[in-house]
A and B are shown apart, each in its own frame.
Chain A
Amino acid sequence: MSEPEATNEDDFLKTLEGKDLNKLIPEVYAELKRLAAYHLHNERPNHTLRPTELVHEVYLLLHKQHSLDLNDRVYFLSIASTIMRRVLVNYAKWRRRKKRGEGKEDLPLEAYDGNTLIDFEQNEVDVIALEEVLIELANRDAQAVKIIELHFYGGLTFDEIARLLDVSLSTVMREWRFARNWLYKKMNSSS
């Protein structure tokens, strides 16, 4: 099971385990980051970015280049959702830093780098806070973290998750519901 709290990217990549797709991981990581950056920094009015679509985009790209078969898809999405979690948490942290930096109005020349800030959607989860409780949950229940990650960051349906983890749908749903409530409670009590 993956542990995304590794300190640097290399360590992080090593923690992702897999079959022959393993050697693709750096490429997936680079592609996802590139695509995410592209979409995040592109000035696009009224634009909503769905990371799930990015994950699919990367899959289609690599699918062509490396002729992956269909069984690889779900497995691929599993890796990609872990990576997406990492990318988005890093982005959220960067964004928070940047927002703080913007407080000083007398630095318009240095502060601005030509990029548009993208916000996590309103009423949406505080990604940084979620990350803290996810790390806590990982100490108790790695499988639950994986399920949350696959659905929330990877956009996999519960059916797909069941197939991927080779368990029944009802097991996935039970694990999901419990972990979801636990995280929700943690996040609302600690704040």
Chain B
Amino acid sequence: MENDNQNRWRKLKDIFNEAVEFAPESRAAYLAALRLDEETLYRELAELIDIDREAEDFLGEPISLESDSFSPSSFVGETVGHYKIAREIERGGMGAVFEAVRFDGEFEQRVAVKLVNRNFFSDELVKRFKKERQILAKLEHPNIVRLLDGGFTRDKTPYYVMEFIEGTPINVYCRENELDTEQRLNLFLQVCEAVAYAHRQLIVHRDLKPSNILVTKNEQAKLLDFGIAKILEADTDAQTQTQNAPLTPAYSSPEQIKGETITTASDVFSLGAILYELLTEKSPYEIYGVGRMEILRGICENEPKPPSMSVSSKFKVQSSKSDSETVENDNQQIANIEQTTNPKSKIQNPKSLRGDLDNIVLKALRKEKERRYASVEQFADDIKNYLNGLPVKAHPQSFEYRAAKFIKRNRLAVSLAAIAVVLIVGGVVAAVWQSFEARRHQQIAEQRFDQVRKIANSLIFDYHDEISKLEGTTKLREKLVVDAVNYLNAVSQEAGDNVELLKETAMAYRKIGDAQGRPYDANLGKLDEALISYQKSANLLEKAVSLAPADTALKDELLKSYDALAQAVSRSGDKPAAARIIEKAIALGEQIPAAEKSFEQTLFLLQMRVTLGDVGENTPKKLEVYQLALTDAKALYPSHEDDAALLRLLMKLNQRTGSALLWFGENEERKGNGETAHDYYRQALEHHRQALEYIKVFVSLNPHERTNRQRMYVGYSNVAEALIKVRDYDEALKNLEIAFDMNRASRKTDPNDREPMLEEVVLINNKQEILAAQGKPDEAFKEIDRGIDLAEEYYRLEPSNIEAVWWICRHSAMAIKLLRALRKEKEVDKYQQIFLKFEKIHKDKSGINWDYTS
């Protein structure tokens, strides 16, 4: 049987292979001529031959996967804002872009609408989305696509509306229109203008590539997709500093691939890679290698060939598939690609590229960002020099450069050099400033000063960040920070009444303060010095605010400095002093007229009031701070129902108020004022219920937040706790059970996380209290035993955690109390032993006696 099957299979294969040697139309005839006696064999063969054409591409491309995309077709025909969606243009994992038409306008306006995939709808994304909107709104340039509108659709999908661009990617445009070198350079200069403009707004694009640059019929270049752009000045936010791997590695700079600090120099590199491609028609894949790994390594390590040498070897082009008859041919073509030339592309004359253009492109593509053009303007200027026949600034790599590269191997030396640079520049700044003072109204001197100062600032901070990545550089960093402080001290002395300079210096002090006060950096964690820097920052800004009281942005900066100062002071342990600073900040915030206050500012101030409550003692004043802040936060709610930050604030404020009220209630109860206590408890319950409502709203709007379950858990257990206090045991039990369920789910999701285990012990305690109060001692004992078992298990797993021991004591003490009340003295002994054993452990480990409040 086995053999028969094998024979039949071989026969099938052999006849098939012979048949397909014939032209398609003769294959049936060949098969018929064989006069096969087995009908099924014949039919199977006929079918296999018949589908040969249809199956041609089957499995031909190795498998690939892509991000899940939502179904954008469902949007076609719908309206978003004032726009009716006509068709889909493009889609990807993040969302889709549509063509749409404004329907309420006087004239028909075509726009592009970008809808963000709701699958990705998370706080992080909404933040990114808002940021892109903010970034685009800042940019108004003929070569940058315009943002027209944006918001959330009825079902809360974020969208924005952009100018509709009908165009072709720049590389395709150049090839299809057979532009010559000069035309290509002129087109490229438009791109440079747009990027330089963005840089002047302190925005780095970070994802420049030909597909993001469209060229319209009138040969106007349009830059798109500031999706991952970064505002340089917003750098203080720790979250924006984490670098993600580049989305499009091919045009990324080495520092981007290595996850290092990204600056405007990164865009210079990407522009260099684009210009290389425009001049040679070779993509980075052909320069650095195909495949993700190869290209990543290539960009970081391999020096590209000069464009003139690259263009002289033949172009590689994509083969067109339609003319392939058979798979053999297909494969043959893959092998032949190397030798194919593209008939449509206008081959650049290698001679025209040799020399200056080679140097220009290679200068933009240097691995070390300091060796590239210092700005896009300079890059563009050199191209203009070339076009005008003037000498260009780019030179082949010099001896000096190679020497620098050699020195770079010794990282310590580089760090030292960096410090030298800072010192020198610092000196230059002071000198230029003095000459500026001497010739007060000379604009040129002022501009010069600004330039030098900016370079100095970026040197200090870029180098600091770079150096902090190296091991064993603490001493150097300390020195760098000291130098920076000296430099700032010198500049601030000269600042006088110059508001701009005061502001800038103050911001720099704050940055230095951040570097000094990093709590996780043991060696550099100099809180005292950070305090001084923050204080100076606040002082300078206070002066600036007094000079320009109408400038809201200054007040904004001062608020930030106060916040940083208050946090540092609080960390140093002086809570009353922290409270005084926050009070000052809040008073300042109140000076800003409501009409000028942004929503973010209002939230920031409310957040500060929460901090004010947190640093305060448990006094009625603390409660009042929370309650007043809560009233103000609630007033914002109707107009910002879906704002995640506001919802978080509302949860937090209700929880804090509720907990404070519980604390006051317990206090009153101890004093014997049962009725007052009950009143506090009722209010506390109200707040915890409110908090839970906000949590539910938050979760429904942000269903993908990882900590949602934790949030809900806390909400339900808080409500349960307050219900116990007001003695509504049935309701308490209901809420407790939900908390149990959520906690159990957490334990299941991550068995390695032991936190939920301890949480369960706490929940069990609440439950047994309820059961005891309800007069169900048997059930209560069951819970107590369970609580002790679980706590003991936890203790075995984590003997260092004293909390479990505390809970064993607590559970067994409760059991003893309950048994005595029931007059079951005989059973007390068992729990007494457990209690004594763990009471001793508690004392040995913590040095204090266990008691209910310890």
Contacts and interface: CB of A to CB of B under 8 A. Distances in A.
B24 interface: no
Interface in A69-128: 88, 108-110, 112-114, 116-122, 124-125, 127
A46 B293 contact: no
Interface residues of B, number: 53
A116 B66 contact: no
Contact of B67 (A116, A127, A174, A175): A116
Interface string B282-310: 00000000011110000000000000000
B55 A180 contact: yes
A47 B120 CA distance: 14
Interface in A166-182: 169-170, 173-178, 180-182
Interface residues of A, number: 58
A4 interface: no
A16 interface: no
B704 A112 contact: yes
B51 A181 contact: yes
A60 interface: yes
A45 B95 CA distance: 8
A57 interface: yes
Contacts of B13: 141, 174-175, 178
Which of A40, A47, A121, A188 has the largest number of chain B CB atoms within 10 A? A47
Which of A140, A170, A177 has the largest number of chain B CB atoms within 10 A? A177
A176 B58 CA distance: 11
Which of B9, B65, B94 has the largest number of chain A CB atoms within 10 A? B65
A152 B13 CA distance: 21
Contacts of A124: 63-64
A152 B59 contact: yes
A181 B58 CA distance: 8
B62 A51 contact: yes
Contacts, number: 154
B328 A170 contact: yes
B327 interface: yes
Contact of A119 (B17, B66, B335, B704): B66
A109 B327 CA distance: 50
Contacts of A117: 68, 119
A15 interface: no
A1 to B, nearest CB: 15
A179 to B, nearest CB: 9
Contacts of A29: none
A148 interface: yes
A123 to B, nearest CB: 10
B66 A56 contact: no
B51 A184 contact: yes
A181 B48 contact: yes
A49 B64 contact: yes
A169 B331 CA distance: 10
Contacts of B709: 109
B669 interface: no
A48 B119 contact: no
Contact of A52 (B20, B59, B62, B69): B62
Contact of A151 (B62, B293, B704): B62
Contacts of A169: 331
A14 interface: no
Contacts of B227: 45
Contacts of B328: 170, 173
Nearest to A109: B709
A191 interface: no
A178 B55 CA distance: 10
A185 interface: yes
Given A109-B745, A114-B706, A184-B55, A177 B327 contact: yes
Contacts of A178: 12-13, 16-17, 48
Contacts of B706: 114
Contacts of A140: 5-6, 9
Contacts of B233: none
A153 B6 CA distance: 26
A79 to B, nearest CB: 16
A12 to B, nearest CB: 19
Given A46-B92, A113-B749, A121-B65, A182 B327 contact: no
A118 B64 CA distance: 10
A158 B329 CA distance: 12
B551 interface: no
Contacts of A114: 704, 706
A65 interface: no
B247 to A, nearest CB: 7
Contacts of A185: 47-48, 51, 55
B708 interface: yes
Contacts of B559: none
A44 interface: yes
B714 to A, nearest CB: 13
Nearest to B92: A46
Contacts of A121: 64-66
A53 interface: yes
B93 interface: yes
B522 interface: no
Interface in A24-73: 40, 43-53, 56-57, 60
B331 A173 contact: yes
A116 B293 contact: no
Interface in B39-90: 47-49, 51-52, 54-55, 58-59, 62-69
Contacts of A173: 327-328, 331
A180 B59 contact: yes
Contact of B9 (A118, A141, A153, A170): A141
A157 B292 contact: no
Nearest to A177: B327
A43 B12 CA distance: 47
Contacts of B6: 140
B705 to A, nearest CB: 9
B140 to A, nearest CB: 26
B293 A45 contact: no
A88 B63 contact: yes
Contacts of A49: 64-66
Given A51-B63, A148-B59, A45 B327 contact: no
A13 interface: no
A183 interface: yes
Interface string A137-159: 00011000000100111110111
A29 to B, nearest CB: 18
Nearest to A39: B65
Contacts of A175: 13
A153 B62 contact: yes
B334 interface: yes
A120 B9 contact: no
A175 B20 CA distance: 13
Contacts of B54: 184
Interface string B309-323: 000000000000000
A142 B698 CA distance: 55
B265 interface: no
Nearest to A108: B703
Given A47-B93, A47-B247, A178-B48, A125 B59 contact: yes
A101 to B, nearest CB: 14
Contacts of B699: 108-109
Interface of B: 5-6, 9, 12-13, 16-17, 20, 47-49, 51-52, 54-55, 58-59, 62-69, 92-95, 119-120, 227, 247, 291-294, 326-328, 331, 334-335, 699, 703-704, 706, 708-709, 712, 742, 745, 749
Q: Which 9 A-B pairs have the closest CB atoms?
A: A46-B92, A45-B94, A184-B55, A155-B62, A117-B68, A49-B65, A108-B703, A53-B292, A45-B93
21 contacts: A40-B65, A43-B120, A49-B66, A52-B291, A53-B293, A110-B745, A114-B706, A118-B67, A119-B68, A120-B66, A125-B58, A140-B5, A151-B59, A152-B63, A153-B62, A158-B331, A175-B13, A181-B49, A181-B51, A184-B51, A185-B55
Given A45-B247, A110-B745, 5 more contacts: A48-B64, A56-B294, A117-B119, A125-B59, A159-B331
